[in-house]
Amino acid sequence: MEPVLKVEGLKKYFPVRSLMRTVAWVKAVDGVSFEIMPGETFGLVGESGCGKTTTGRTILRLIEPTEGKITFKGRDVTQLKGKDLLWFRRHAQIMFQDPYSSLDPRQTVFNIIMEPVKFHGIEVDDPEEFVIKLLESVGLNEMHLYRYPHEFSGGQRQRIALAKILALQPDFVVLDEPTSALDVSVQANILNTLKELQRKHGFSYLFISHDLGVVKYMSHRMGVMYLGKLVEVGPAEKIFENPLHPYTQMLLSAIPIPDPELARQKKRMEVKGEPPSPINPPEGCHFHPRCPLAKAGLCDKKEPPLVEVEKDHYVACWLYAKA
């Protein structure tokens, strides 16, 4: 089977300017590669500033990549122009984190959902019925048709955003922290709706989140990001059962477990330091200053390659690669 999306060596550097001159580069995304199969959810986790959101937006060309190749359904996205770009814009969608700023406050739900449909010239016999059907499939109903965003709760707004995406029948959706602004009871609801829609329509998702529990629940495969690089990629089950990279291990040991008994038994690892600035990342492996297993002379000098340690499970760490 062909992947829906293939990302190879994606880079995005932002210039840091001072007195009209570029004095440094923020390497937000620095050589990221992965693929997403049809109907698959690929989770991307990491702490703030690791580049997960920039990755999502660069893939959709909401931000132009500095370097790298993005292949969507066999076509190179970075080269698309005009009509072809429009085709891409329709079939690859995004759902944002903040439901309060992602909907136009002056438009009714009907208009919000119909705008992209009209823009892409999709023929609809009865727009009202079309929108009602969409609303119903995300758990809203016709009563909501002519209301404005301020009349809805955060969870309901995310549902409106979902209906809008659904209207275009995309193949691939970037979900950028879609439930971070919501309460847990509402979060569960949205996550289940996302899963159901995936089953029904065969969507592929890139699921970006800092919440490991949510990523585990949603993803088939996942990648762990640290300072612009993927440090571990593999099936979600395997990464949680057998995390290989010391950063993944630290992350797993740091998340609080909602079960007092498991929490007491949990293997604890000393968590030290804070993520450094991506302007001047540490040399070699970016994680080495915080890594309890760092080898002097190797980890602080040379960058580790991403190697396959067990089937489909890749790690970028000198513990597993030959120098």
In the complex, the residues that contact another protein under the rule CB under 8 A are: 47-48, 153, 155-156, 183-189, 191-192, 210-214, 216-217, 240, 250-263, 266, 271-275
Shortest distance in whole angstroms from residue 272 CB to another protein: 8
Q: Could you tell me which residues come within 8 angstroms of residue 10 by beta carbon, excluding any fewer than 6 positions away?
A: 29, 31, 32, 33, 55, 58, 59, 65, 67, 68, 69, 70
Q: Are 38 and 1 in contact (CB under 8 A)?
A: yes
Is the separation of the CB atoms in 131 and 113 below 8 Å?
A: yes
- Residue 234 CB, nearest distance to another protein (Å)? 15
- Could you tell me the smallest distance in angstroms from the CB atom of residue 259 to another protein? 6
Residues 112 and 292: their CA atoms lie apart, in Å, by 51
The nearest distance, CB 61 to another protein, in angstroms, is 28
Q: How far is CA 56 from the centre of its chain?
A: 5
Give how far Cα 119 sits from Cα of 34, 87, 156, Å: 31, 12, 24
Residue whose CB is less far from another protein, 21 or 150 = 150
Q: Output the DSSP codes for 115-138.
A: HHHHHTT---S-HHHHHHHHHHHT
Q: How do 204-209 and 172-176 pair as beta strands?
A: parallel
Query: Least distance to another protein from the beta carbon of 154, Å?
Result: 9
Q: How far is the CB of 148 from another protein (least distance, A)?
A: 17
The secondary structure element, H or E, covering residue 112 is helix 109-119
